[in-house]
Chains A and B, each alone.
Chain A
Amino acid sequence: MSGFKMNRRGLLKTSAAVGAGLAMPTIFTSAARAYTNEPSGGSVTLGFNVPQSGPYADEGADELRAYQLAVEHLNGGGDGGMMNTFSSKALKGSGILGKKVEFVTGDTQTKPDAARASARSMIEKDGAVMITGGSSSGVAVAVQALCQEAGVIFMAGLTHSNDTTGKDKKANGFRHFFNSYMSGAALAPILADNYGTDRKAYHLTADYNWGYTTEEAVRNSTEAMGWETVAAVKTPLAQTDFSSYVAPVLNSGADVLVLNHYGGNMVNSLTSAVQFGLRAAEANGKQFQIVVPLYSRLMAQGAGRNVAGIFGSTNWHWSLENVAGDRYAGTNAFVQSFGEKYGFPPSQAAHTVYCQTLLYADACERAGTFNPCGVVEALEGFEFDGLGNGPTLYRAEDHQCFKDVLVVKGKENPESDFDLLEIVDVTPTEQVTYDASIFGGELGSCNAGT
């Protein structure tokens, strides 16, 4: 017995000695790369970090589809999608800088901890040179900080909180999606036109940074036109049953319910509100109304008939080019190639991540390098068109995209399963533009890692 154990120990000792022996003559190759994960060989790896479980799983699944489509187009497959309508012509369908685009995927679980772990393993294990995705601002802020630290680029996916490019902005992070402030600014005039200026609002708010800034933005812009805020109640992100939150609304003296919820949260809370008869109710002598500041087609699909007539804002909608004309060129090209591959139109989440992937690839081409500092320089102040949102600017001060914002309404008589939202108004860029300094925060300087 003991003889065997001595042998094992001996074996371990020997292996340690061999290991040390191997290590001796070899030079440690620290900092051999010019920047983190400089691609070597014929391919470059991108990391797609999306929620595959949790309240935003539907959005995550659609994002992943769009990423796969974008990779296919970048590598020269398919019909090229929005690469044909994109105003910058640097992309040739031969990968990025001649390297074939490969990707790894991860699950953020809509939790900052898990998202960071997943992003770290993409950077450290798989050698991803850019991380993108996410469908929650909590996750986006956490992963953006990680990417800044690690020296890779972060192309935010669906994140709508002001914080992402406001108080938590980072030099290595970029956001194509719009934000809470823009939603509030675009929605308020429409709400005033339709519901009057003497309404009393009750907010239900998802309890994390996106909920906070959305509530604040909607409050500020509606109060500015004369509305009153009766109460604002925070609900946990993981909540699935909202009946206890909806029940007190009718007796609160409010006549408008604002649901600062997204994804599965919004589907559940809206369904609850409708079941409680809020839409049929009257309060203060007026018809009771519900408003959803951030809308998406996936949510409308989840909530079904309940969305009819409810106002909200959105970054993009697949019918945009048909409704509002060819200022929004690219929309149809994208819808077509997405539809051909998957059999249904893309959601706004899919659109924004597809754009982000193309914008990153294009920036690398124009900069002639994958070096994050080169990419940052190429993206800052970049003006482009043809990605479905009309003329767009990547503002240098906060790495936020500025473009037109859509105000939409749930259709009363949808013609198909996907035709659920009706575009009410397209708010021009000037009306939603704000000063970069109002949210505080510091961009810092770009970090290329070791």
Chain B
Amino acid sequence: MFGLNAKDMRSLVFVALLLVLAPILLNPFPEGSPLAQFNAGYPDLMQRFAIFGIFAIGFNILFGLTGYLSFGHAAFLGAGSYAGVWMLKLLTINVIPAIIISTLVAGVFALLIGLVSLRRSGIYFSILTLAFAQMAFALAASVLTPITGGETGLQTSLNDPRILDGARESSNIPTPSLFGLEMGDSWQLRVGDWLWTFNAGYYICAIVALIGFYIAIRIFRSPFGLMLKAIKTNQNRLNYTGVSTRPYMLACFVISGMYAGLAGGLMVSMDPLAGAERMQWTASGEVVLMVILGGAGTLIGPVLGAGFIKYCENIFSKINKSVLEGWFSVFPDGMADFMVAIVYPFVGKGWHLTLGVLFMLVVIFLPGGLVQGGQKIGSWVTGRGRKKSAGAATTTPAE
């Protein structure tokens, strides 16, 4: 179906189900229970899962297929964000132009940066992209303040022209919508103690993410994708045989940048504010972490990695001292204090520490990322009866 083989179809269906059922899957604990702290099924975080999933999928097309490590992908996300907010300000509050234009703007931006950066490969390419991204950040944060809002960020406001929307009716800033369906609209479903929130904005992100995932599969399986893998394997040999690799690389870089721009456009469609810090190098580093953590070069890995990191960021960082004290209050006093002291550095502000430790463990023991972990568990479960096919069952990710 859709020109996919059975295995890819299964991945697509798997991702589709994950996306559709996310509001239920992410809220496994009943409301009001102590474990409700770990529920992630609220609109903001679900939107982030889908958006950063798109970002990571796009990054993986570049890094996973060609092995070119870009350290400046956040610049495209930022460029897309600013373009998106300007569309919401100038054209219409409908999110469609914002999403389309932000993708295109990021594509043009990627073309310009790609033309220069792709003259080099390896570490030099990484440094060039990093330099461009930092330049973009500095521009956004101070030089281009009239266009980007500087450190304050760019927001929609009451007296924006919005030429396609006609005269404004209410005295409040309109919220981004899709033909009247506001991104913040949610339906809540209560089953027993569980409360599930189905959010319009999230499902739009999810649909776009699914389309993005499908396109990524097609690119992976196309002759174009094969050429990209060949570049990763041995670019020199390709050049010697007379194949010009640059157009392929440039196309790949632009596609990857457009994914990032799309993510940026969706981000501002969900929450119409673009801040300069989303272009900073730490943001570029984050997407590298997502892809490596999930499994570079695999189809589903980046999505898992993105979800994993965003979950840590939003859930662990909200566990503060009083929450910990609540958990450990069953222990005797001294013991409870001791446990709090041990755990506290790893949650709240210290969630980066937890992430760092997990990242190290993954890189050391599962070089193929979470996907390899899943495969290991899978082959362990199925391979116990028939030990023979342990090697055949693990498909080595195209690391």
- Chain A interface (Cβ within 8 Å of chain B)? 1, 4-5, 9, 12, 15-16, 19, 22-23, 26, 28-30, 32, 52-53, 104-107, 111-114, 116-117, 120-121, 124-125, 137-138, 141-142, 145-146, 148-150, 168, 171, 207-209, 234, 236-237, 442, 444-445, 447, 450
Query: What residue in chain A is nearest B7 (Cβ atoms)?
Result: A5
A163 → B minimal CB distance (Å): 8
Of B10, B153, B389, which one neighbours A113 at CB under 8 angstroms? B153
B277 engages A29 (CB within 8 Å): no
Please choose the segment from B59-67, B185-193, B216-224, B293-301 that sits at the chain A interface, where 4 or more of its residues have CB less than 8 A away: B185-193
| Residues A104 and B271 in contact in the complex (CB < 8 Å), given A120-B44, A207-B141, A237-B151 | no
New A-B pairs, 8, CB < 8 Å, besides A1-B389, A138-B153: A5-B10, A26-B189, A29-B187, A111-B275, A207-B151, A209-B152, A236-B141, A444-B158
The one of B42, B188, B271 in contact with A30, judged by C-beta atoms closer than 8 angstroms, is B188
Rounded to whole angstroms, the CA-CA distance of A145 and B88 in the bound complex is 15
* Interface membership of B159, Cβ < 8 A: yes
Partner of A142, one of B44, B273, B317: B273
| Chain B interface residue bracket vs A | 35 or more
- A12 touching B42, Cβ below 8 Å: no
Number of A-B contacts (CB under 8 A): 130
Q: In the complex the two chains form, is A105's CB within 8 Å of B320's CB?
A: yes
Can you report 27 A-B residue pairs in the complex whose CB atoms are below 8 A from each other? Answer: A4-B378, A9-B10, A12-B13, A15-B21, A19-B24, A23-B189, A28-B187, A28-B198, A29-B189, A30-B185, A30-B186, A32-B188, A112-B151, A112-B153, A113-B273, A117-B44, A117-B48, A117-B271, A117-B314, A121-B44, A138-B152, A142-B273, A142-B275, A208-B151, A236-B141, A236-B151, A442-B171
**Complex CA–CA separation, A364 to B39 (angstroms):** 30
Q: Which positions 29-87 of chain B face chain A at CB distance < 8 Å?
A: 39, 42-45, 48
CA distance A116 to B389 in the complex (A): 50
Q: Which residues of B are found within 8 Å of A22, using beta-carbon distances?
A: 191
B382 within 8 A of A: yes
Task: Find the B residue at minimum CB distance from A117.
Answer: B44
Which residues of B line the A interface, CB within 8 A? 10, 13-14, 17, 20-21, 24, 39, 42-45, 48, 141-142, 145, 150-153, 155, 157-159, 170-173, 175, 184-191, 197-198, 271, 273, 275, 277-278, 314, 317-318, 320, 349, 378, 381-382, 389, 393
Given contacts A105-B320, A106-B318, contact A141 B17 (CB under 8 A): no
B residues within 8 A CB of A116?
Answer: 271, 273
A100 CB to closest chain B CB, in angstroms?
A: 14
Q: Once the chains bind, are B159 and A442 in contact (CB under 8 Å)?
A: yes
Q: CA of A114 to CA of B151 in the docked complex: distance in angstroms? A: 12
- How far, in angstroms, from A53 to B352 measured CA to CA in the complex? 13
Inter-chain contacts of A5 with B (CB < 8 A): 10
- Min Cβ gap B205→A in Å is 14
Shortest CB-to-CB span from A142 to chain B, Å, is 6
Contact B17 A12 (CB under 8 A): yes
List chain A residues, Cβ under 8 A from B21. 15-16, 19
A207's partner among B44, B150, B158, B188 (CB-CB below 8 A) is B150
A30 CA to B186 CA in the complex, in Å? 7
Of all chain A residues, the one with the shortest Cβ separation from B393 is: A1
B189 touches A28 (CB 8 A): yes
A10 to chain B, nearest CB (A): 12
Q: Can you name the residue of chain A whose Cβ is closest to the Cβ of B24?
A: A19
**Interchain residue pairs A-B with the least CB separation, the first 5:** A208-B151, A113-B275, A112-B153, A120-B44, A124-B42
The minimal Cβ–Cβ distance linking A226 to chain B, given in whole angstroms, is 30
How far is A333 from B318 in the complex, measured between Cα atoms in Å?
A: 32
Q: Closest CB-CB distance, B266 to chain A, in whole Å? A: 14
